[in-house]
Chain A
Amino acid sequence: MNRILATSQTEFRIALRNRWVAISIAMMGLFSLVLSAAGSSATGTIGADRLSVVVASLTSLAVYLVPLVALLMSFDAIAGEVERGTLPLLLTYPVSRPQILIGKLLAHLAILTLAVAVGYGIAALAALALDRGAVAGLPALWRLMWSSVVLGATFLGVGYAASAVARRPSGAAGLAIGLWLGVIVLYDLGLLAAIVADKGGVFAAKVFPLALLANPADAFRLYNLAASQATSAAAGVAGAASTIPVWASLSSILAWPVLALVLATASFRKVTP
């Protein structure tokens, strides 16, 4: 346990010096600010409180931004150690590879939590200032916050796995961006294309819900929208959200970080310094 904590402390310090803490907080804060400014014009018509509406739009923002920030923070984790030549010495210490990964994960998660709290906090404060009834949206905000951190944990793990597989920071960065494009953007486009091409409706009825649940980002969106009162305020997969039970999307978002960490550990074990 001490070894894990020592690792996270050092990683946090490095992230602080490398400006990663500042960059992620600024990114999340800036986007939330823009979002709440844009959202403040269209309200009142749906019947939902202002905060719930903000949470719905924050959800669609988080699906893109949280994985991106997580991948940017994690792609260097192992490839960077290999490139700098610090890995051989580290691996001769009485610390296991999973311990090293968990140590890094805790540090990066702390940064992500900070960024998410600051970003969503700004948006929430803006909504609460304008609308007394917005307190009704607080549970949704809280849910969005912790599920964003869990989503971040998934993509941190995926980033470590990419970092271990690539073994060079440049390759790991490319792989991370590719993963982000594939999982966040192209996956949904592919599903959409399949739905359009699907004539009999078998795909839409049977495969589509499972395909959504299999993708951590889609499961995250489903979970937050299904649980939110402002489902109608969001576009995209919102329609599907009503047909998939909350426990299914919840299980998916909780299972993914574990799976990602297992994946990262397995790839890290294959790295010979």
Chain B
Amino acid sequence: MPTLTLQRLTKTYGSLRALSEVSLTVAPGERVALLGHNGAGKSTLMKIILGLIPYDTGSLQVTGAAPGSAEARRNVAYLPENAAFHPALTGLEQMRHYLALRGESAALAMGLLDRVGLGPAARRRIGTYSKGMRQRVGLAQTLIGKPRLLVLDEPTSGLDPVSRRDFYELLDGLAADGASILLSSHALTEVEARTDRILILSGGVLVAEGALADLRRTAALPVAFHITPRAGAAASVAAALPEARVHTGNLTLTCAQEDKLRLLSRIMALGDQIADVDMVPPSLEDIYSHFSKRAGQ
């Protein structure tokens, strides 16, 4: 049974269509990234999943229950876009409070804060925390209990590079234990390596969905080759590959996905005239803007 199912979900704010007919499912243990431009509807979609705001038409089940129901709230953890806490409380007190609200022992608070690297600051007031530290309090509270679904709105914003890596390792562990993860992000490179599936929202419409390899195939963006000729062989290599662009002695070629092996064998045929060759597949940025553009962005 999927952890999360959305069918033709539509949400409007007055005349603005924040989400149009969005359908998706998330399976247990799956890590799904939600991408999209500012105002695409990512946060709106998440708040609807959490039952915080109502939707207009369509249907959704969260861990088999209605969004926002007591059952769903027990099973879902949330990290809001700008995680905020009462400045007068210490990290430890805030954590104890959240543990109590989930019916867990307050004694677990320190361990959770340690897991996100906040142990040394646990007894300081949150009002004195940096942005990244507040974000970590937000992350720590999502680890309470054993949530079946984690909804994380831009979880790595404000985190330094090392913390980001630690964060994704944490996620891998949770997913391995069977938790589903839906996260939004603008940092494409980290999403690329760390999630199983990508959803691209554009103007409230789900314009692409699938594993990165699938998206790459559907987008059918050209593959680039960077060729470095051996000293003195530049002219003959350029003559053999007339479609290449020459730049500071190196050659750049692009070709469609299905032609890449043919082109590669033409390059290999040049033998030791070639010093080095790099094949560059389209980046997630390229794929992302391809789908976003097609939707009229």
* Contact (Cβ within 8 A) A13 B89: yes
| Inter-chain contacts of A273 with B (CB < 8 A) | 47, 52-53
| Closest partner residue, chain A, to B125 (CB atom) | A17
* Contact (Cβ within 8 A) B73 A88: no
Q: Which residues in window 1-50 of A have CB below 8 A to B?
A: 2-3, 5-7, 9-10, 13-14, 17-18
Q: Is A247 an interface residue (CB 8 A)?
A: no
| Inter-chain contacts of B96 with A (CB < 8 A) | 6
- Measured in the bound complex, the distance between the Cα atoms of B52 and A88 in whole Å is 7
- Measured in the bound complex, the distance between the Cα atoms of B53 and A272 in whole Å is 6
Q: Is A174 an interface residue (CB 8 A)?
A: no
* Contact (Cβ within 8 A) A2 B100: yes
* Contact (Cβ within 8 A) A6 B89: no
A 59-92 to B, binary, CB cutoff 8 A, 1 in contact else 0? 0000000000000000000000000111011011
Task: Please classify how large the interface on chain A is, using the bins under 10, 10 to 19, 20 to 34, 35 or more.
Answer: 20 to 34
Q: A2-B103, A6-B101, A273-B52 known; A93 and B88 CB under 8 Å?
A: no
Q: Is A200 an interface residue (CB 8 A)?
A: no
* Contact (Cβ within 8 A) B102 A94: yes
Q: Is B82 an interface residue (CB 8 A)?
A: yes
A 145-178 to B, binary, CB cutoff 8 A, 1 in contact else 0? 0000000000000000000000000000000000
Task: Please classify how large the interface on chain B is, using the bins under 10, 10 to 19, 20 to 34, 35 or more.
Answer: 20 to 34
| Inter-chain contacts of B101 with A (CB < 8 A) | 3, 6-7, 93-95
Residue of B50, B73, B74, B86 most packed against chain A (CB within 10 A):
B86
A25 nearest CB across to chain B (Å): 18
* Contact (Cβ within 8 A) A17 B88: yes
B 93-134 to A, binary, CB cutoff 8 A, 1 in contact else 0? 100111011110000000000000000000000000000000
Q: Is B246 an interface residue (CB 8 A)?
A: no
| Inter-chain contacts of B210 with A (CB < 8 A) | none
* Contact (Cβ within 8 A) A85 B89: no
* Contact (Cβ within 8 A) B52 A85: no
| Inter-chain contacts of A92 with B (CB < 8 A) | 50-52, 73, 76-78
Q: Which residues in window 142-192 of B have CB below 8 A to A?
A: none
Q: A14-B89, A85-B84 known; A94 and B74 CB under 8 Å?
A: yes
- Measured in the bound complex, the distance between the Cα atoms of B102 and A95 in whole Å is 8
- Measured in the bound complex, the distance between the Cα atoms of B82 and A95 in whole Å is 21
| Inter-chain contacts of B222 with A (CB < 8 A) | none
* Contact (Cβ within 8 A) B88 A6: no
* Contact (Cβ within 8 A) A6 B97: yes
A176 nearest CB across to chain B (Å): 20
Q: A2-B100, A94-B70, A95-B101 known; A89 and B86 CB under 8 Å?
A: no
* Contact (Cβ within 8 A) A18 B88: yes
* Contact (Cβ within 8 A) B97 A88: no
* Contact (Cβ within 8 A) A88 B47: yes
* Contact (Cβ within 8 A) A89 B100: no
- Measured in the bound complex, the distance between the Cα atoms of B74 and A88 in whole Å is 15
SS class of chain A's interface: helix, strand, loop or mixed?
Answer: helix
| Closest partner residue, chain A, to B77 (CB atom) | A92
* Contact (Cβ within 8 A) A272 B100: no
* Contact (Cβ within 8 A) B88 A14: yes
* Contact (Cβ within 8 A) B80 A93: no
* Contact (Cβ within 8 A) A93 B102: yes
Q: Which of B54, B74, B86, B102 contacts A84 (CB under 8 A)?
A: B86
Q: Is B83 an interface residue (CB 8 A)?
A: yes
A108 nearest CB across to chain B (Å): 15
- Measured in the bound complex, the distance between the Cα atoms of B78 and A270 in whole Å is 21
Q: Which of A6, A9, A14, A94 contacts B73 (CB under 8 A)?
A: A94
* Contact (Cβ within 8 A) B84 A93: no
* Contact (Cβ within 8 A) A272 B97: no
* Contact (Cβ within 8 A) B89 A10: yes
- Measured in the bound complex, the distance between the Cα atoms of B97 and A195 in whole Å is 53
- Measured in the bound complex, the distance between the Cα atoms of B83 and A85 in whole Å is 8
Q: A88-B52, A91-B52, A94-B70 known; A14 and B86 CB under 8 Å?
A: yes
* Contact (Cβ within 8 A) B53 A89: no
- Measured in the bound complex, the distance between the Cα atoms of B100 and A95 in whole Å is 10
- Measured in the bound complex, the distance between the Cα atoms of B80 and A5 in whole Å is 25
Q: Which of A6, A7, A10, A89 contacts B78 (CB under 8 A)?
A: A89
B 48-85 to A, binary, CB cutoff 8 A, 1 in contact else 0? 00111110000000000000001001101110101111
The 3 closest A-B pairs by CB, nearest first: A6-B100, A85-B84, A17-B88
Known contacts A84-B85, A273-B52; 20 further A-B pairs (Cβ under 8 A): A2-B103, A3-B100, A6-B97, A10-B86, A10-B89, A10-B93, A10-B97, A13-B88, A14-B88, A14-B89, A17-B89, A88-B50, A91-B52, A92-B50, A94-B73, A94-B102, A94-B103, A272-B52, A272-B53, A273-B53
14 residue pairs from A and B, CB less than 8 Å apart:
A6-B96, A7-B97, A10-B86, A10-B89, A10-B97, A13-B89, A13-B93, A84-B87, A85-B82, A85-B84, A89-B84, A91-B52, A92-B77, A273-B47
